[in-house]
Chain A
């Protein structure tokens, strides 16, 4: 999680941190499986690049606001927070009274979780039953 490219923009750093946090939240038992977070972040970035052009600027701004938000209370951007603080921040947004904050988290978490489960269980898409006891993985 500390190998964020120096050339990455603030937006990309925020998305990477979001992807890592979503992956961690879903698969907290898989210590060190940073590939899941990276995969989720790559997916979120791919979706962002493809979304309707009139949605892209507002979503870009929302991600930056999300990244900036903890600066007031925690003194750091979201992408600079340790994982536990990121999880707490995600929960704060999830329970927010502001609909736009709840929707933001719903949108990115659902896409991120879809990506994480695609990495974990891509084998499900292949034809033929899994051998007994095999844990399906892509």
Chain B
């Protein structure tokens, strides 16, 4: 960093670069590494800390404080509130998600091409970009049997005749590991960020972009660098800027910079409900690998899967049933957390003058709420088919289900005020495409009406991916930066 700053310093706290990438998550890290490998001077800003993969166990209290934005307390306001989480560290969301990997289905891209006039975006056209990313961030199936809390879901689905599959993860398994972690998670801090640094890129953690402005043919990024002692304002100038802060932070930065056309108006997400299942025998063992099965029978309406089910997570999931929480102490080995996630809902991202954080408003339609309620009933059905003795929906006021005969006791639709909806997947706040009434950016991510300003994250995706979006974010970022390089936009 010292050499880089010496060579590129324009004055106190002023730096010049060819490319500035704002955000180091899956979109930003892929983009930055490609630009650096193309021989450009690239600075990648990251608001959060630069932390090793092992700095905290996955979904632990420590990880929430270290790597989650706002300690995971983010609320989308509306009749039905939604709690959402975002990563805030080098690697962004890839550090905190479970890395279940999918290429989004063809039907998703068909819809985006049709509804948003996105050009050259089909699964065959994206395949080389998926493959290029998969060569750097390895995608592997479990080398051995899946944990029982995962296979139980598969067994239940099999008994009901529902489609269920084992999903690969962004994970490099060490098949000869006898102790410790069974391999390395292929998050951005393990894959594309080291590749970016190796290519000569400069990473600036603890640096939050606050505004961008254009003058004399170059972009200026105003940012604030924080360290334990103080914070300082800095300015970076560059020919080209890629914004990759995620589906909430990217529209926030654009709107604060005066770029508002179709920005932050169409946030989408995968709303999720959880339930804890209690089985007759032990299925939850400390040190087990993460669950990998998902039920796809009802895609694209909703899908189901299994969550991390350590005791702290179980206690959190059982908070809706405070009178039953002691069961976690005694029966935790027989308990596991499962989820159903749908594709409904829409939101807006706005900023308040004087406040740093964005205001997110969400709306779940009556149909969305009904869909989630149906999904929860189906989840209970498959858990009983898998041998569950009881199902505890993680919704305050909901009944404990003791047999399939209790499923009709669940409300037919999700009461908005009671809904305990969460989401980890957010996208679509600045959709790409040539439909100027809907889209904030071109089919290749260039912000409409702005030279050399690109978006490179989940904001660009035109709607729900139905599956975990990280693979699609990476592939689309790879496709778009390749085009930008070909077009000499950087």
Contact = CB atoms under 8 A, between A and B. Distances in A.
A130 interface: yes
With a 10 A CB-CB cut-off, give which of B314, B316, B417 has the most chain A CB atoms.
B316
Interface string B287-327: 10000000000000000000000111111100100100100
Given A99-B417, A113-B325, A128-B179, A106 B286 contact: no
A53 B356 contact: yes
A134 B167 CA distance: 33
Contacts of B372: none
Interface string B352-383: 10011101000000000000000000000000
A19 B275 CA distance: 26
A120 B74 CA distance: 26
Interface in A61-113: 94, 99, 102, 106, 109-110, 113
With a 10 A CB-CB cut-off, give which of A47, A114, A126 has the most chain B CB atoms.
A114
A5 interface: no
B328 A129 contact: no
B312 A46 contact: no
Contacts of B58: 125
- Classify the secondary structure of A's interface with B: helix
A51 B316 CA distance: 18
A51 B57 contact: no
Given A117-B328, A118-B61, A118-B312, A127 B396 contact: no
B312 A109 contact: no
Contacts of B315: 26, 113-114, 116-117
A50 interface: yes
Given A46-B71, A53-B356, A54-B359, A129 B286 contact: yes
B165 to A, nearest CB: 25
A51 B287 contact: no
Given A50-B73, A53-B355, A122 B182 contact: no
A24 interface: no
A129 B179 CA distance: 10
Contact of B311 (A43, A121, A128): A121
A121 B286 CA distance: 10
Contacts, number: 99
A21 interface: no
A52 B355 CA distance: 9
A55 interface: yes
Contacts of A109: 319, 322
Contact of B352 (A46, A54, A128): A54
- Classify the secondary structure of B's interface with A: loop
A36 to B, nearest CB: 13
Nearest to A121: B311
Contacts of B71: 46-47, 50-51
Contact of A106 (B60, B62, B180, B319): B319
Interface string B445-480: 000000000000000000000000000000000000
Contacts of B285: 129
A26 B65 contact: no
B70 interface: yes
A35 interface: no
Contacts of A130: 286-287
A60 interface: no
A53 B70 CA distance: 9
Contacts of B396: 102, 106
A59 to B, nearest CB: 9
B75 A55 contact: yes
With a 10 A CB-CB cut-off, give which of A109, A122, A125, A136 has the most chain B CB atoms.
A125
Contacts of A46: 65, 71
Interface of A: 26, 43, 46-47, 50-55, 94, 99, 102, 106, 109-110, 113-118, 120-130, 136
Q: What are the nearest 9 A-B pairs in CB distance?
A: A125-B57, A52-B357, A110-B319, A50-B71, A121-B311, A118-B61, A117-B312, A117-B315, A124-B310
